[in-house]
Amino acid sequence: MRLAKLIQPKAIVLITAVSILITACADEAAKPDAVAAEKPAAAQVEITAGTFGRLSDMTKVRHFFIGNLLGNLEATIAVAESKTGGVYPPGSVVQLVPTEVMVKHPQGWNAATRDWEFFELDVSADGSTIRNRGFVDVVNKFGGNCLDCHIKARKEWDLICELDHGCDPIPISRKQIAEIQDSDPRCT
Ligand code: HEC
Mind listing the pLDDT tens digit for each residue in 65-120? 999 999 999 999 999 999 999 999 999 999 999 999 999 999 999 999 999 999 99
Distance 25 CA to ligand 1 centre (A): 28
Residues 35 and 65 reside in one and the same domain:
no
Residues 18 and 72 reside in one and the same domain:
no
The pLDDT value given to residue 6: 46
Residues 102 and 183 reside in one and the same domain:
yes
The number of domains in the chain is 2
Residues 104 and 179 reside in one and the same domain:
yes
Distance 86 CA to ligand 1 centre (A): 18
Distance 42 CA to ligand 1 centre (A): 28
Task: For residue 152, give the amino acid letter.
Answer: K
Instruction: Answer whether residue 92 is part of any domain.
Output: yes
- The DSSP string of 133-187 is EESSS-B-TTS-BHHHHHTTS-GGGTT--TTTSSPPPPSS-HHHHHHHHHT----
**Ligand 1, pocket residues at CB < 6 Å:** 63-64, 94-96, 100-102, 118-120, 138-140, 144-146, 149-150, 160-163, 167-170, 174, 177
Residues 83 and 134 reside in one and the same domain:
yes
Distance CA 75, CA 133 (A): 24
Residues 134 and 68 reside in one and the same domain:
yes
Instruction: Answer whether residue 44 is part of any domain.
Output: no
Residues 82 and 173 reside in one and the same domain:
yes
Of 103, 133, 135, 140, best ligand 1 pocket probe by most atoms within 8 Å of the beta carbon = 140
Span between the terminal Cα atoms of the chain, in Å = 44
Residue 112 phi/psi, 5° resolution?
-65, -25
pTM of the model: 0.84
Of 60, 94, 139, 161, best ligand 1 pocket probe by most atoms within 8 Å of the beta carbon = 161
Residues 108 and 24 reside in one and the same domain:
no
Instruction: Answer whether residue 90 is part of any domain.
Output: yes
Residues 1 and 75 reside in one and the same domain:
no
Range of the structural domain that residue 126 is part of = 49-187
* Strands, sheet with 116-124, edge to edge from the N-terminal-most edge strand: 59-61, 64-68, 92-95, 100-104, 116-124, 127-134
Asked if 128 contacts 122 with a C-beta cutoff of 8 angstroms, the reply is yes
Tens-digit pLDDT profile for residues 24-70:
565 544 444 444 444 444 568 999 999 999 999 999 999 999 999 99
Distance CA 82, CA 22 (A): 43
